């Protein structure tokens, strides 16, 4: 189904602005009646996907053949998820055109079987061989905050709020007015204080020839990374940029799949991966990307899409509390960003961005189906025989 959720305020960055989000949500019902939920957020400017396209991929894929196997344990479930290959409908060289779709379907299956097996989603992290070196469960984690572009007074108030609320990490959206960014960063640094870890995100807005200069102009304010400075089309130029700046470079729009990750490692275009569950094709793929970064000596963060409902927030929490060395954690902000809610629990982070691990089976949340029904734009059912 496609669900429209309203945002409390318009979200702006250099690539896009939005006041609502159309999310792709999947409800999976097992033969015994156990229900699981999954969510993906298709973004055409990130992976080339749309919510309508995700629905078409469901219709075009032979679900009975790919998802009809009996699963008696977690290994069966994980193998089914690994084997799932939805029909992209067109050439897919970066292997990202079905990522939001895959994320939603995969999470719904993992949630359903987690409930059936009475096992939380976080248990999956220790069952993936590639992640054995980075699996480390913790009882709580601290999320990062973000400041988007706005008027100076609003940015000052946001900066003060981050400091008072006790955050330790903050992402600043830059490049909408690039010549003003050094002034903006200087002002924010003054109000967030010297202890705040500040990083910037250009959302592909800079040209290759200006990127190093733009980053150098922000370095006096102690930034700890520069996220996706150029468009994916120009991502190869970042290997030279890295040699000319002190600030670590993070890939986001250019990091959607293992294909992208292999290219980034080989071409030395980044220091960090931004891993977002929906953008990267689901929980299992995201685990593999974190493992790839770790084994290549790179860092990684858990990212999110603005507008994620509690379904994706819960999945992100399981990831965040299972994997070690995550540089920054984004997400679990649905209570602060959304006007519309579709789960019964509140899992929004608390003061300072702190949030506990979820130990309940599956995703550990329950969907309010009556509230969800009022927000549905399109819905279809696909029996698997």
Nearest to 249 by CA among 305, 201, 295, 207: 201
For residue 123, say whether it is annotated as part of any ligand binding site.
no
85-114 CB burial, b ≥16 within 10 A, e <16: ebbbeeeeebbbbbbbbbbbbbbbbbbbbb
For residue 258, say whether it is annotated as part of any ligand binding site.
no
Task: Check residue 323 and give left, alpha or beta (phi > 0: left; psi -120 to 50: alpha).
Answer: beta
Residues in Cβ contact with 150 at an 8 Å cutoff, skipping those fewer than 6 apart: 12, 158
Q: How many residues appear in the chain?
A: 385
Residue 15: predicted pLDDT: 60
For residue 227, say whether it is annotated as part of any ligand binding site.
yes
What distances in angstroms separate CA 298 from CA 174, 273, 305, one per listed residue? 24, 8, 22
Neighbours of 72 (CB within 10 A): 8
Q: Where are the beta strands (DSSP E) in 228-329?
A: 249-251, 272-275, 299-302, 326-329
One pLDDT digit (tens) per residue for the chain, 385 residues: 999 999 998 776 656 677 899 999 999 999 999 999 999 999 999 999 999 999 999 999 999 999 999 999 999 999 999 999 999 999 999 999 999 999 999 999 999 999 999 999 999 999 999 999 999 999 999 999 999 888 999 999 999 999 999 999 999 999 999 999 999 999 999 999 999 999 999 999 999 999 999 999 999 999 999 999 999 999 999 999 999 999 999 999 999 999 999 999 999 999 999 999 999 999 999 999 999 999 999 999 999 999 999 999 999 999 999 999 999 999 999 999 999 999 999 999 999 999 999 999 999 999 999 999 999 999 999 998 7
Residue 14: predicted pLDDT: 59
Whole-number Å distance between alpha carbons of 107 and 40: 9
Residue 75: predicted pLDDT: 96
DSSP 3-state of 324: coil
Domains of the chain and any CATH numbers: 2-118+368-378 (3.30.390.10), 129-356 (3.20.20.120)
Residue 171 CA, distance from chain mean position: 14
Whole-number Å distance between alpha carbons of 131 and 23: 29
């Amino acid at each position: 189904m496609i669900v429209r959720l309203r945002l409390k305020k318009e979200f702006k960055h250099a690539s896009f602005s939005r006041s609502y989000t159309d999310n792709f949500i999947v409800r999976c019902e097992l033969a015994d009646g156990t229900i699981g939920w999954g969510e993906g957020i298709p973004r055409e400017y990130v992976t080339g996907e749309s919510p309508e396209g995700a629905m078409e991929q469901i219709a075009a894929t032979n679900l009975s053949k790919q998802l009809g196997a009996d699963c008696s344990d977690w290994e069966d479930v994980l193998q089914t998820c690994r084997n799932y290959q939805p029909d992209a409908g067109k050439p897919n060289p970066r292997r990202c055109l079905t990522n939001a779709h895959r994320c939603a379907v995969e999470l719904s299956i993992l949630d359903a079987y987690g409930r059936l097996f009475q096992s939380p989603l976080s248990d999956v992290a220790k069952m993936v061989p590639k992640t054995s070196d980075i699996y480390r469960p913790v009882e709580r984690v601290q999320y990062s905050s973000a400041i988007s572009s706005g008027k100076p007074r609003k940015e000052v108030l946001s900066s003060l709020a981050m400091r008072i609320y006790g955050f330790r990490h903050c992402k600043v959206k830059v490049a909408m007015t690039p010549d003003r960014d050094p002034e903006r960063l200087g002002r924010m640094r003054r109000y967030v204080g010297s202890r705040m870890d500040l990083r910037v995100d250009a959302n592909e807005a800079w040209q290759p020839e200006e990127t190093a200069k733009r980053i150098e102009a922000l370095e006096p304010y102690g930034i700890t990374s520069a996220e996706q400075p150029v468009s994916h089309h120009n991502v190869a130029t970042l290997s030279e940029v890295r040699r000319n700046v002190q600030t670590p470079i993070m890939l986001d729009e250019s990091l959607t799949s293992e294909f992208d990750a292999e290219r980034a490692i080989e071409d030395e275009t980044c220091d960090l991966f931004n891993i977002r569950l929906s953008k990267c094709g689901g929980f299992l793929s995201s685990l593999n990307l974190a493992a790839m970064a770790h084994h290549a000596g790179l860092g990684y963060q858990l990212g999110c899409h603005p507008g994620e409902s509690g379904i994706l927030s819960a999945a992100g929490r399981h990831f965040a509390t299972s994997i070690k060395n995550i540089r920054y954690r984004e997400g679990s902000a649905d209570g602060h960003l959304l006007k519309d809610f579709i789960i019964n629990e509140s899992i929004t982070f608390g003061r300072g961005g702190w949030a506990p691990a979820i130990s309940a089976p599956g995703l550990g949340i329950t969907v309010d189906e009556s509230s969800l029904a009022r927000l549905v734009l399109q819905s279809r059912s696909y029996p698997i025989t």
